[in-house]
Structure 1
Amino acid sequence: MTDTTTTIADAATPAASARPWLDASLPVDERVELLLAEMTVEEKAGLFFQTMIVMGEGGELSEGDAAFGIPSNREYVAGRHMNHFNLLGVAPKASDIAAWHNKLQELAASTRLGIPVSISTDPRHSFSDNPGAAMFAGPFSQWPEPLGLAATRDAELVQRFGDIARQEYTAVGIRVALHPQVDLATESRWARQLQTFGEDADLAGELGAAYVRGFQGSAFGPGSVSTMTKHFPGGGPQKDGEDPHFDYGREQVYPGGQFELHLKPFEQIFAAGGRQIMPYYGMPVGTEYEEVGFGFNKGVLTGLLRERFGFDGIVCTDWGLVTDQPIMGTDFAARAWGVEHLTPAERMVKILDAGADQFGGEHDPSLLLGLVRDGRVSEERLDVSARRLLREKFELGLFENPYVDVEAADAIVGSPEFRAAGEAAQRASIAVLSNDGVLPLRRGVKLYVEGIAPEAVAHYGEIVATPDDADAAILRLQAPYEQRGSMFENFFHAGSLDFPDDVVAHVRAVSSVVPTVVDVFLDRPAILGPIVETAGAVTANWGANPDALLDVLTGGSPATGTLPFDVPSSMAAVEASRPDVPFDTADPLFRFGHGLSL
């Protein structure tokens, strides 16, 4: 068992007496200045980089991952003076993450100044595996995606989720959440809706603020997880709904003149004390702002964020704006929209001038050091961001106690209480969209199912092999999306919202034989008309296991979920709508807030 009273000062050399910034009785600002005065330019530069890191097997330090171009843990911390990392991948046991985290902190403590590491993560409580957006839950409790939390319209539930996630994250040493995502889902085709709170600005702000309060706690400090809200100034209005990881999705457009509306959720985040911000890849087109990606955009980051909203927290760019590193072995690299022609050094200067503090997904401090040596970036400019970054570590209590209790991690992460809360939220989020009387299903009936493991149905009915033998059928579908040219592109579900003809025909064939329930994982608002016309009932989920779904379908739990966005009536209506304007598709099939009770 790791002694949780061990401190950086105990583990590091030289003695703590030579490190006055470790005196916890001093004000944080004074401690920051004491440490900053001792730092070399190389040590300051290391603060500016936050990138992916991997852990070794069984909680050991890693020698890196050549396939992803990730150096060893030791090279990062001791060689490059870096101490902000996004943990990549899922471990089977929480105690392995905790053990690795402690070894990484011991490595940090052995460096000259003993600056502790800050570990961040993309969401870890979900059903989706989308690199750069979320990952499977693994040992963590499993909850609906944020769209599902929005379907509950329950700010108390969202704050409870944040509080549970905070306890699970801190148990393994994760202290920065690269979420929530409060972009507005105003473009029905947009690929990143699943991690948002939907189409309504007021609801997104209310739930986003509750999320932040849950993660950061009643007072920001040693028990908190710092939230990095994204994607400022709102990433929803993408031209044709395409994702700006890719050049064909780089334009963010405002034909309805609703730029200000997309700022509204962020105002509630600021009021709730959100600590960090990530700007989006996209570039604004046809606005008063420079047509460059938001990470390079001084009018947005300094003019809007720093000056208008008075935000003095950390701003970290989205990943890979500087060095055009290829994405997962694809041909897609540059996300430096509008400044593709600039060299990596010139991009870095522009990002710093815009007002950002960290380069997301970058791991080469030598580039920044060269700019300082050449006089293109002053050490005084480094100090501005270094103060913010060090202040966060001090306020999180990492200098006093960076370590976690390895033996306690498995009992906390994914505890029965936390799993039960996640399952209750799954049930609460399921929305019944149509029902001709087939719901609720009677327990014990003969069921034909697709997309559900047969063993999951045993408590609810008798599995049969064909629709002809069934009293009812349950088909689980994924909302449609277009297949693109690479694996990475297909992580981002984009393009047409129409179900393929063969899927519609199959639903029609089953429904013609037996009363049929179709449950759709509605990560985007699919064109459901052909399914609704055919099936006896249609439900929507945003992350629900079979037990949660079947419990609602059989009336064991009430149907309480409601739509977090409009469901359009046709692709023609989607294509005619303005991507920055909420609720803009003509004659939607179902309105925001629709949901039937059983």
Structure 2
Amino acid sequence: MTDQPLIDLLKKLTLEEKIGQLLQLAAPFFEGTGTDGQITGPMASMGITEDIVKHTGSVLGLSGAKETIAAQQAHMKKNRLGIPLLVMADIIHGYKTIFPVPLAIGCSWDMEAAERSAEIAAAEASAAGVHVTFSPMVDLVRDPRWGRVMETTGEDAYLNGEFARAFVRGYQGKDLKHDLTRLAACVKHFAAYGAGEGGRDYNTVDMSERQMREYYLPAYQAALDEGAELVMTAFNTVDGIPAAGNKRLMRDLLRQEWGFQGVVISDWGAVKEMIPHGVAADEAEAACKAMLAGVDIEMMTTCYENHLKELVESGEIEEALIDEAVLRILQLKQKLGLFDRPFRGADPDRERDIVMSAEHRQAAREIATKSCVLLKNDSVLPLNREQKVAVIGPFAQNGDILGPWSWLGSKDETVQLIDGLKSKTDASRILTAEGSGIETVTEEQLEEALRTARHADVIVLALGEHSDMSGEAGSRADIRLPQAQLKLTARLKAAGKPMVAVLFNGRPLDLHGIYDVADAVLEAWYPGTEGGAAVADLLYGDRNPSGRLTMSFPFAVGQVPVYYNHFNTGRPQGVPDAQVRYVSQYLDIPNEPLYPFGYGLGYTTFGYSNPAISSGVMTVDQPLTVTVHVTNTGSVAGEEVVQLYVRDLSGEVVRPVKELKDFRKIKLQPGETQEVSFQLTEEQLRYHHADLAFASDAGKFSVFVGANSRDVQELEFRLDK
């Protein structure tokens, strides 16, 4: 179907039918969903009628091939022109087979793994009848108090962009119309949602346009360059205007400057939320501003439905704007092949065969092992299979390790830590005690834990956050583990046994009371369906930890936001001859994070030597080659993430102390040395100047190569222009 038939179809629609295409409702409104389209409770208060439902263009929250087919059949019978629904859902890190949360996948530094996770999620969801996923979320984050950091890949714009591309490739493939195992990707949340003040969800964002373009926009643009079909608006303000009503952001930047031709959808209720934001007096004004800004689909509020017709009739909105929005929606339905195959990939037989298949579970296990980060190890790990291990803590026998946005994930089908460990050795060598709840503890629990620990050779402490403690609306001011778990950790220290802390959580934590007490710390994040098996693989040394942090762990919450690519200030610490007090510092804690961006350990060690640069001068036409020798200086094979950073020593505007420009993930056998080579170009040195021009500066630069953003070796060069 070409655009002309779509234009012809558009001409047949009444204004009411056009407006219906701009509305997205949740599954319970529709027949065939188990509710028979009965509109009850809070949903009835929205004033939704059967006439509105039959005109509606998209639905969110349908699940299962049988249900999606039934709902689509019922809808197309009632819709006058038989226009199929778009079925959308939050497939964030897996459909039924749950992968590690995106922040954990980010810590793999493995684009193939990220793409594979999205490919499998798309295959399962498409078999269940889903067409569009509200993913990837590419918001740059610097504040771990914000619960949704678990849904991003970290604090670096370049790395986030690479992951954005990988997720889009995995979801969409190369041919959405004919490859029925793929989903259309919706990149979110446009824009700068991750920069809310105080780390509080839905909160105000206020930054310069230069800051936004330099750090927050690149990952969205990378996703769109890779072909993402939709963009979701953010809840927050941008330059004082809520994103859902921000014409400069959506029409001027997204559509005109970047040339985006796809569908823009609001987040849940975001159009109507312009009223409490204080930029719309009522629903009619909210509808007007959202349409003028270029929002095509309003999710789960009815400002468009209730007011666009009157706005057209009064002349405040041109019907041509509505036509443009509807045409974009019809074009997406065409790209997905829905006019030819309204049920698309929905197939109960395929769904039964592939959802939670052994192949998909094995992929989830593999990616989880790559995503965990070993933060500390004082010669305790890997465990010996002859040791007696006391597995203690609220996550020892707990399926709540899937994390937020694991929509259809089953805790009952999740491999718990205790089961993973028992699969590695004689079950009699694995002892267990609850020790504490996640937020509560009794003296009886502590005594039982201590008794159990005394019978063991080593303690594995399974600690973390309940999944509701992070994710959307999961902001926390105190990002330490709950006091109950800190009390348990301190009590078990008295047993005098080696102690390994395994952390299941969705954000970087303040680890005081853990890292300074435990002999080893493994950050497992929320590792997904195969989490217990993957963690056991790592603890027993069947896999060597290779994850590296993509978000800094603060020394204390008072540092937040803390991130590696900060500015130097005019009074940095360590300046010769500076008065010690009068520099930019805290009097009571270090400036540096506890664990920096890029950090992670394994069961071997790596040495860096002979860093070299091909020339002391770069030109626009002559890039440089940076090399370093990396040697596995330990006794087992291991993977290292070799990282390249750059600093512009004298920019037109202040530049960060380091910026990641490239990396290589290499695997070395014991004693093996590899020369790792990077090409550095003038284009990689460009940034947004005061006038927003994107260009480089002639002058001196430092280039750093090493194992993380802190432990690097430095070289210098000059850019001549």
Name the TM tier (shorter chain). 0.7 to 0.9
Report the counterpart of residue 389 of structure 1 in structure 2: 329
Q: Take 2:45 and 2:13, find their aligned partners in 1: how far apart are those partners?
A: 24
Alignment correspondent of 2:692: none
Which of 134, 141, 163 does residue 207 from structure 1 map onto?
A: 163
Q: In structure 2, what residue type is equivalent to 1:119?
A: V
Query: Structure 2 residue aligned with 1:574, among 546, 560, 568?
Result: 560
Match of 1:271 in 2: 225
Q: Is 1:357 paired with 2:324?
A: no
Give the match for residue 264 of structure 2: 315
Distance 1:273 1:186 in 2: 27
Indicate if the aligned counterparts of 1:221 and 1:396 stay in contact, CA closer than 8 A.
yes
Which residue pairs with 1:117 in the alignment? 85
Alignment of 1:215-294 (within 5 A): 215-223=171-179, 224-244=182-202, 249=203, 251-254=204-207, 258-260=211-213, 261-284=215-238, 289=239, 291-294=240-243
> What does residue 18 of structure 2 align with?
44
Task: Report deviation, 1:125.
Answer: 4.0
| C-alpha distance in 2 between matches for 1:583 and 1:345 | 48
Matched-pair contact (CA < 8 Å) for 2:274–2:280: no
SS in 2 for 1:375: coil
Structure 1: distance between partners of 2:18 and 2:208:
43
2:702 matched residue in structure 1:
none
Residue of structure 2 aligned with 1:342, choices 269, 281, 305: 281
Contact 2:107 2:550 in 1 (8 A): yes
User: What does residue 186 of structure 1 align with?
Assistant: 142
> 1:151 offset after TM fit, Å?
0.8
Match of 2:523 in 1: 540
Partner of 1:596: 601
CA distance, structure 2, for counterparts of residue 87 and residue 580 of structure 1: 39
8 Å contact kept, 1:320–1:335:
no
Aligned residues of 1:61 and 1:103 also touching (Cα < 8 A):
no
Query: d(CA) in 1 for partners of 2:387 and 2:454?
Result: 13
Rate the CA distance shift 1:116–1:580 in 2: closer, same or farther, 3 A. farther
Q: Which of the numbers 388, 393, 396 marks the counterpart of 1:452?
A: 396
Determine the C-alpha separation between the residues in 1 that align with 2:320 and 2:108. 48
1:281/1:59 Cα in 2 relative to 1: closer, same or farther (>3 Å)?
closer
User: What does residue range 390-469 of structure 1 map to in structure 2 within 5 Å?
Assistant: 390-403=330-343, 404-449=346-391, 450=393, 451-453=395-397, 454-460=418-424, 461-465=429-433, 466-469=452-455
Q: How far off its partner does 1:48 sit?
A: 0.6
Structure 1, unpaired ranges of 5+: 1-23, 92-96, 127-136, 324-333
CA contact (8 A) 1:532 1:538 kept: yes
Q: CA deviation at 1:568?
A: 1.0
C-alpha displacement of 1:57: 12
Distance 1:381 1:409, change over 3 A: same
Measured at CA, do residues 464 and 259 of structure 1 come closer, stay the same or move farther in structure 2, by a change above 3 Å? Answer: closer
Counterparts in 2 of 1:158 and 1:71: CA distance versus 1, 3 Å = farther
Q: Which amino acid in 2 is paired with 1:141?
A: T
Is residue 187–residue 580 contact of structure 1 (8 Å, CA) maintained in 2?
A: no
Q: Secondary structure at the match of 2:548?
A: coil
Q: Structure 2 vs 1, CA of residues 49 and 582 (structure 1 numbering), >3 Å: closer, same or farther? A: farther
Q: Mark the CA change 1:53 to 1:310 in structure 2 (over 3 Å): closer, same or farther.
A: same
- The CA deviation at 1:481 is 11
Secondary structure in 2 matching 1:530: coil
Give the AA of the match of 2:350. Answer: A
Kindly indicate which of the two structures has a greater share of residues assigned to strand. Answer: 2
Q: How many residues align?
A: 527
Of residues 544-553 and 347-356 in structure 1, the stretch that sits farther from structure 2 once superposed is 544-553
How far the C-alpha of 1:582 sits from its partner, in A, is 9.4
CA contact (8 A) 2:546 2:600 kept: yes
578 and 149 in structure 1: CA distance in 2 versus 1, 3 angstrom threshold: closer
Letter in 2 for 1:560: S
Q: Which residue of structure 2 lines up, in the alignment, with residue 19 of structure 1? A: none
Which SS does the other structure have where 1:152 is aligned?
Answer: coil
TM-score (ref. length: structure 2) = 0.68
Q: Give the TM-score taking structure 1 as reference length.
A: 0.82
Tell which deviates more after alignment, 228-237 or 251-260. 251-260
Give the Cα–Cα distance (whole angstroms) in 2 for the partners of residues 421 and 578 of structure 1.
Answer: 31
Deviation string for 1:445-465 (max 9, x for gaps)? 322222122445422342245
Structure 2 equivalent of residue 503 of structure 1? 485
Deviations along 1:327-350, one digit per CA (max 9) or x if unpaired, are xxxxxxx46564355200110100
Q: CA deviation at 1:61?
A: 5.6
Query: Does 252-261 or 345-354 show the bigger shift?
Result: 252-261
Native 8 Å contact 2:372 2:524 kept in 1: yes
Q: Cα deviations across residues 480-523 of structure 1 (Å, max 9, x unaligned)?
A: 9998xxxx998513222233444323212213312111112241
Partner in structure 2 of residue 561 of structure 1: 547
Matched residue, 1:108: 75
Distance of 1:579 and 1:114 partners within structure 2: 54
Q: Against the structure 1 CA distance between its residues 540 and 582, is the aligned structure 2 distance closer, same or farther, given a 3 Å change threshold? A: farther
**Kept after mapping to 1: 8 A contact 2:23/2:298:** yes
State the secondary structure of the residue aligned to 2:513.
helix
CA change 1:579–1:153 in 2 (3 A) is closer
SS of residue matched to 2:185: strand
* Residue-by-residue CA offset, 1:167-189 (whole Å, 9 max, x unaligned): 11211110101111000112232
Rounded to whole Å, the distance in 2 between the matches of 1:30 and 1:500 is: 60
Q: Which consecutive residues of structure 2, in runs of 5 or more, have no partner in the other structure? A: 398-417, 434-451, 570-589, 604-721
Aligned to 1:11: none
CA contact (8 A) 1:444 1:462 kept: no
- Tell me which amino acid in the other structure corresponds to 1:459: S
CA deviation map 1:119-170 (0-9, x unaligned): 10112545xxxxxxxxxx5xx2120111111011111111111221221121
What is the CA-CA distance between 1:321 and the residue it aligns to?
A: 2.7
- SS at 2:503 equivalent: strand
Per-residue displacement from partner, 1:413-437 (whole Å, max 9, x unpaired)?
Answer: 2221112111111111111100111
Q: 1:489 to 1:456 in 2, by over 3 A?
A: closer
2:124 to 168, 185, 191: 168
Which residue pairs with 2:508 in the alignment? 525
Question: RMSD over aligned Cα, in angstroms?
Answer: 3.0
Cα distance change of structure 1 residues 272 and 352 upon mapping to structure 2, 3 Å threshold: same
Residue 478 of structure 1: how far off its partner (Å) = 2.0
Greater mean alpha carbon deviation, residues 308-317 or residues 578-587 = 578-587
1:306 — aligned with what? Answer: 255
Deviation at 1:528, TM superposition (A): 1.4
For 1:109 and 1:399, locate their aligned partners in 2 and report how far apart those are by CA, in whole Å: 11
Aligned counterparts of 2:505 and 2:472: Cα–Cα separation in 1: 16
Task: Give the Cα separation in 1 of the matches to 2:565 and 2:133.
Answer: 27
Change (3 A) 1:534 1:77: farther
Residue 471 of structure 2 contacts residue 506 of structure 2 at CA under 8 Å; is this kept in 1? no
- Quick check: 1:281–1:335 contact (8 Å CA) kept in 2? no
TM-superposed CA distance for 1:269, in Å, is: 1.0
Higher helix fraction: Structure 1 or Structure 2?
A: 1
Distance 1:39 1:468 in 2: 75
1:256 and 1:581 in contact (8 A); partners too: no
**Gap change, CA 1:300 and 1:322, over 3 Å in 2:** closer
Counterpart for residue 492 of structure 1 = 474
Contact kept, 8 Å, 1:122 with 1:178, in 2: the verdict is: yes
Equivalent in the alignment of 1:375: 315
Task: Give the Cα–Cα distance (whole angstroms) in 2 for the partners of residues 237 and 180 of structure 1.
Answer: 17
2:59 is paired with a residue of what secondary structure?
A: strand
For the 8 Å contact 1:281–1:337, the answer to whether it is kept is no
Q: Deviations over 1:267-289 (max 9, x none)?
A: 211210111101211113xxxx4
